[in-house]
Amino acid sequence: LSTLTGLESFDILNTIVDTIKLVYKDKFEKNNVRMNTRDRVIMTYMKLKQNVSYSLLAIIFNCYSAKHCQRVFYNTVKILNKCLKPAIPWPSREEILKNLPQCFEGFEDVRVILDCTEIFIQKPANLCCQIITYSHYKGSQTCKIMTGVSPAGNITYIIKPYGGRVTDSTIFQQSDLIKLLEPNDAVMVDRGFLIDEVCEINRLKCIRPPFLKDKKQLSKAESILTSKIATARFHIERSNQRIKTFKILGSIMPVKLVPTLEDIFTVVCATINMSSPIL
């Protein structure tokens, strides 16, 4: 089950199926007589995890056409998005401190660790879309999504996708994350997040590895700080690795699928939170 769908256990699968039935009160199944809810969920997760073709899914699930499987996927992933969003909660300060790992000693005021994940996409035909999605960092067309991870390793925040051209700092400034943070909260980021001024205005702390600037090498204190931040940020690196194990996000995404990227990414992140802890 885990290899094919990314779901760690049948208990998780059953919980998801039961949640859909509870929210939609059997309407979902009545409107889809060809496939029951359980099969639709399994098929959708197989597409997310292994990115198999709709033609193969049609054979596996005895559907009459690949197009039908495609419609099932689009419909089900939207429903999963609505049902699984509560699995990505924003924790309180008290919850953060209660579950603070040892590697965050000295960083007790960190509320969230931020990073941007880039998803490779096919080159759009439209020139404006080509410009917006071109990532200079990746040298290709991408969509960029900012994710936030708690010190305990849970995904606690995601934002809608942006074109790869947009900077990490701009995404942070345009997000509603600032409204969720409280004065004196700290945000741990990588060097690409130049958000010092925004944080200062909103009485937030920005923890980021120091820059070399005109120096030949970092001081001893700066080197120690860089090492400590790298150790603490290991959580979000592990989280990103788990996200990319879902091949629909680790492969080049077709342009037609890009409008559904937010739904797909939310479902994947919620599923990771329901799996065994990163730590």
Q: Are residues 35 and 102 in the same domain?
A: no
Per-residue pLDDT of 57-106, as tens digits, reads 999 998 879 999 999 999 999 999 999 999 999 999 999 999 999 888 88
CATH number at residue 123: 3.30.420
Please tell me the predicted confidence (pLDDT) of residue 253.
96
Rounded distance between C-alpha atoms, residue 45 and residue 20, angstroms: 14
The pLDDT of residue 222: 74
Judge if 224 and 116 occupy the same domain. Answer: yes
Pairing of strands 140-149, 134-135: antiparallel
| Both structure tokens of 189 | 């980021």
Instruction: Work out the burial of residue 188: count CB atoms within 10 Å of its CB; fewer than 13 is exposed, 13-18 middle, 19 or more buried.
Output: buried
Question: Of the candidates 71, 86, 101, which is a domain's last residue?
Answer: 86
Are 157 and 64 in a shared domain?
Answer: no
pLDDT of res. 213? 67
- How many domains are there within the chain? 2
pLDDT at position 63 is 85
For the record, the structure tokens of 171 come out as: 């995404």
Please state the pTM of the whole predicted model: 0.92
State the Cα–Cα distance between residues 238 and 40, nearest whole angstrom: 29
Range of the domain at 119: 89-258
Mean pLDDT of each 10-residue bin along the chain, 279 residues long: 94 95 72 79 97 95 90 95 95 93 90 94 96 95 96 94 95 93 93 88 90 69 81 83 94 96 97 86
Residues 151 and 127 in one domain: yes
pLDDT of residue 216: 66
Q: 200-212 pLDDT, tens per residue?
A: 999 999 998 877 6
